[in-house]
């Protein structure tokens, strides 16, 4: 934690938001560990903020000082080639075209849109785990939300809810069919709830953290502890008549646990990503099914079973969430009835000064931490 100058308006499309709540994401944990070489001293982290508009630039019309807003984690202009196709994470106006961003794409294609608080390959934009945030492209990004319910009702519109919504949409499980969800962190929990809300028949959820398994079970998920079985795929096949789940969501990403070999490859930098959960997910999907990846991956994966995916005719869809694409679908559910139960995700509320402790318990899955919300 450090003190920095308050941000000021730099462009006519900027806004300044006074942050009232700001959450820590599984994606921040990647920066905290495996992606930390991409960080520089003085970088401000955080991409799940909400608060009150303090000031707007002259081109910002849909929000005004005093409005209560949630800020999407990706920064999109709303009117470029990709934004016009609802691919807000691919925004051409904000994508980082710097040398580092270009070099970090092995295909030589650069990176997607700038992200708040996400290093020097995603625009080096100061993030939202702070008292004040400068919001670029504020003529489009910030989502105005109603007064009344607590912040925790709307906060997850910044990331968790649209990410989970997109993962479920991409999974495209048939009505009454079976969805497998790997990882029962905030993203996986919400994937399960959204899928059931939309008429999926069964959700099988895989994790090992007791509090996360039991929270999912409370919502009707059939849970599986990956440390309690030999091969997750075998158990999932047993549970699904020998065929596998219709669709699988990987909500774990590059820091999956459960394989010593993968950990050594990552520690020795032979492989950036630990793909244990992804492989188990792939081994559990039925032929002709769908693999939806929302867990973040950053590099090549060795001995990747592409041929098996091909033979099994598995469709793969993935990527960062195009946040604004899903907001109009989600907002009507954040009503008094709170059908998704979003408010129970938060296990810890702390001040900004407690952020180092929050990171530690969230990373180590201690003290029942599922979602830590900081209150500046």
Ligand X SMILES: NC(=O)c1ccc[n+]([C@@H]2O[C@H](COP(=O)([O-])OP(=O)(O)OC[C@H]3O[C@@H](n4cnc5c(N)ncnc54)[C@H](O)[C@@H]3O)[C@@H](O)[C@H]2O)c1
Helix (H) or strand (E) holding 286: strand 285-293
Residue 24 touches which member of ligand X, Zn ion, none, C-beta under 5-8 Å by kind: none
3-class SS shares of the chain: helix, strand, coil, % to 5: 30, 20, 50
Span interacting with ligand X, options 7-15, 33-41, 255-263, 326-334, rule CB under 6 A: 255-263
Smaller CB distance to ligand X: residue 16 or 275? 275
Residue 296 touches which member of Zn ion, ligand X, none, C-beta under 5-8 Å by kind: ligand X
- Rounded least distance, CB 54 to ligand X, Å: 27
Smaller CB distance to Zn ion: residue 25 or 124? 25
CA distance 196 to 182: 16
Q: Is 46 in the site for ligand X (CB under 6 A)?
A: no
Pick the binder of ligand X from 75, 251, 282, 314 (CB under 6 A). 251
How far CA 51 is from CA of 65, 303, 363, in Å, comes to 11, 45, 25
Residues 22-41 contacting ligand X, CB under 6 A: 25-27, 29-30
Angle at 348 between CA 342 and CA 351, to 5 degrees: 120
Span interacting with ligand X, options 7-15, 150-158, 284-292, 293-301, rule CB under 6 A: 293-301
Pick the binder of ligand X from 256, 314, 345, 358 (CB under 6 A). 256
CA distance 343 to 351: 18
For CA atoms 50, 53, 56, 61, give the dihedral sign: positive
Residue 91 touches which member of Zn ion, ligand X, none, C-beta under 5-8 Å by kind: Zn ion
Q: Is 119 in the site for Zn ion (CB under 5 A)?
A: no
Angle at 191 between CA 333 and CA 67, to 5 degrees: 40
Nearest-10 crossing angle of helices 160-171, 186-197: 50
- Rounded least distance, CB 192 to ligand X, Å: 11
Phi first, then psi, for residue 183 (nearest 5°) are 95, 115
Residue 29 touches which member of ligand X, Zn ion, none, C-beta under 5-8 Å by kind: ligand X
CA distance 315 to 174: 14
Smaller CB distance to ligand X: residue 119 or 163? 163
3-class secondary structure, 94: coil
- Rounded least distance, CB 87 to ligand X, Å: 13
Residues 64-83 contacting Zn ion, CB under 5 A: 76-77, 80, 83
Instruction: Look at residues 170, 161, 284 and name the one whose alpha carbon lies nearest to residue 231.
Output: 284
Q: Is 121 in the site for ligand X (CB under 6 A)?
A: no
Smaller CB distance to Zn ion: residue 91 or 232? 91
Q: Is 50 in the site for Zn ion (CB under 5 A)?
A: no
Q: CB within 8 A of 88, min separation 6: which ones?
A: 72, 74, 76, 78, 82, 113, 322, 323, 324, 325
CA 225 to the chain's CA centroid: 22
Q: Are 253 and 35 in contact (CB under 8 A)?
A: no
Residues 333-362 contacting ligand X, CB under 6 A: none
Q: Is 276 in the site for ligand X (CB under 6 A)?
A: yes
Residue 257 touches which member of Zn ion, ligand X, none, C-beta under 5-8 Å by kind: ligand X
Interface positions with Zn ion (CB under 5 A):
25, 27, 76-77, 80, 83, 91, 93, 159
């Amino acid at each position: 934690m450090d003190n920095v100058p308050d941000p000021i308006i730099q462009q006519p499309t900027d806004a300044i938001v006074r942050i009232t709540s700001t959450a820590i994401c599984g994606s921040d944990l990647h920066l905290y560990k495996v992606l930390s070489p991409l960080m520089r001293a003085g970088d401000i982290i955080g991409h799940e903020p909400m608060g009150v508009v303090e000031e707007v630039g002259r081109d910002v019309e849909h929000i005004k000082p005093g409005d209560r807003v949630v800020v999407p984690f990706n920064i999109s202009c709303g009117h470029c080639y990709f934004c016009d196709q609802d691919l807000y994470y691919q925004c051409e106006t904000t994508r980082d075209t710097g040398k580092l961003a270009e070099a970090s794409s092995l295909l030589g294609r650069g990176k997607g849109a700038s992200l708040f608080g996400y290093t020097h390959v995603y625009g080096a934009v100061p993030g939202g785990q702070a008292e004040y945030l400068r919001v670029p492209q504020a003529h489009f990004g910030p989502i105005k939300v109603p007064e009344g319910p607590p912040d925790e009702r709307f906060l997850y519109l910044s990331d968790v809810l649209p990410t989970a919504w997109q993962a479920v949409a991409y999974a495209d499980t048939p009505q009454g069919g079976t969805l497998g969800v790997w990882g029962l962190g905030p993203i996986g929990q919400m994937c399960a709830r959204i899928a059931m809300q939309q008429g999926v028949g069964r959700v099988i959820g895989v994790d090992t953290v007791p509090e996360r398994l039991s929270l999912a079970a409370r919502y009707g998920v059939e849970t599986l502890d990956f440390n309690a079985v030999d091969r997750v795929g075998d158990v999932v096949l047993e549970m699904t008549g020998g065929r596998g789940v219709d669709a699988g969501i990987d909500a774990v990403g590059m820091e999956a646990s459960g394989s010593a070999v993968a950990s050594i490859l990552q520690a020795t930098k032979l492989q950036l990503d630990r793909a244990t959960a992804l492989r188990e997910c792939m081994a559990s999907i039925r032929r002709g099914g769908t693999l939806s990846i929302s867990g973040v991956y950053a590099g090549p994966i060795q001995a990747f079973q592409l041929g098996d995916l091909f033979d099994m005719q598995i469709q793969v869809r993935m990527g960062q969430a195009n946040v604004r694409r899903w907001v109009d679908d989600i907002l009507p559910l954040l009503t008094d009835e709170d059908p998704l139960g979003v408010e129970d995700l938060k296990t810890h509320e702390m001040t900004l000064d407690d952020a180092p402790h929050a990171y530690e318990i969230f990373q180590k899955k201690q003290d029942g931490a599922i979602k830590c919300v900081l209150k500046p």
